[in-house]
Amino acid sequence: MKKREVSNSKVCVIGGAGFLGSHLVDHLIDDKGCEVLVLDNLITGLKKHLHPQAKLKWFDIRDDENELSKILVEEGIEYVFNYAAEPYIPECFERPMHFFDINATSVLKVLNACQKAKIKAILQVSSAEIYGDMKGKIKETDPVEAHSTYGVSKLAADGLVQVRWKEAKVPGIAMRQFNCVGERETHEYVIPEIVYQLAKSSTVNLGNNSFRDFQYAGDAVKMAVSLLENGEFGEVYNMGSEEGIQIYDLAHLIGKLMGHESVDIVVDESRVRPWEIWHLQSDNTKLYNHIPLRPEVSLEESLIKTINYFKQNHMSWDF
């Protein structure tokens, strides 16, 4: 039996005009019958991504937490999903303070605002980038060794969710999301960049040949809602497909789906990450002990959906 029921409730999605956030808004409205308030500063999110029944308010989570709390109370919000983040890792090397401010300090502001507004539950989206370089599937109990300011900021956010539950019973759950793929991608790593290059030629310039776990965005947000309904407060949960592929193999697969007989890969030193995590693959055991849903869309199906969106979007991405 569910601990909480999101269906037909009033929900706020922070960052709801972005890639995953907009998929979540669609699911909440179309499948769950929710009234959805989207808070977004529209820097990377776009109005065109929004469901026509969603209500949009411009808001930046770096701003006053009291203003956020006021909005949540005035709108009668019961549940909050925080998908707002600076996620594009290469930029964090040059802007570490900016990344930490948005991905960590501002998370504390969101938790404080939700506490003041007496929100029933908050799902904070974290990242697999908190983990170090390991082989095989990764569990929540495995060592963490973030390889970027982005990873450190997400690890800090996880810690805040955990301690604020212990300190003040702020009802938060942290979800360590592994890589996603799907329509409305808003950052170039890594599938959008491969698709873009292969739309022009059969040659792809890439950096590290790392292994990544890719989950379809539509599956990820459905499972996220189920986690908010069934998860334990103050806990962290991995979420991914539990499968994966090396980036060079991914490029060959995308090339095949885009009609190329073969793909030539050129190693571009400017794209090589200075401290790579070579293997990220989720172990969903803890998650599956709490939610009934499982991924439904395969990697190949996800890539086809993504490629079709790119073609329908005038052979371009939304960034």
pLDDT digits over 83-117, tens only? 998 877 777 677 888 888 889 999 999 999 999 99
Q: What is the pTM of this model?
A: 0.96
Question: What's the confidence (pLDDT) of residue 266?
Answer: 96
pLDDT digits over 151-191, tens only? 889 999 999 999 999 999 999 999 999 999 999 998 888 99
CB atoms within 10 A of CB 296: 11
Kindly tell me if the per-residue pLDDT of 263 is higher than 90. yes
pLDDT digits over 25-84, tens only? 999 999 999 999 999 999 889 999 999 999 999 999 999 999 999 999 999 999 999 999
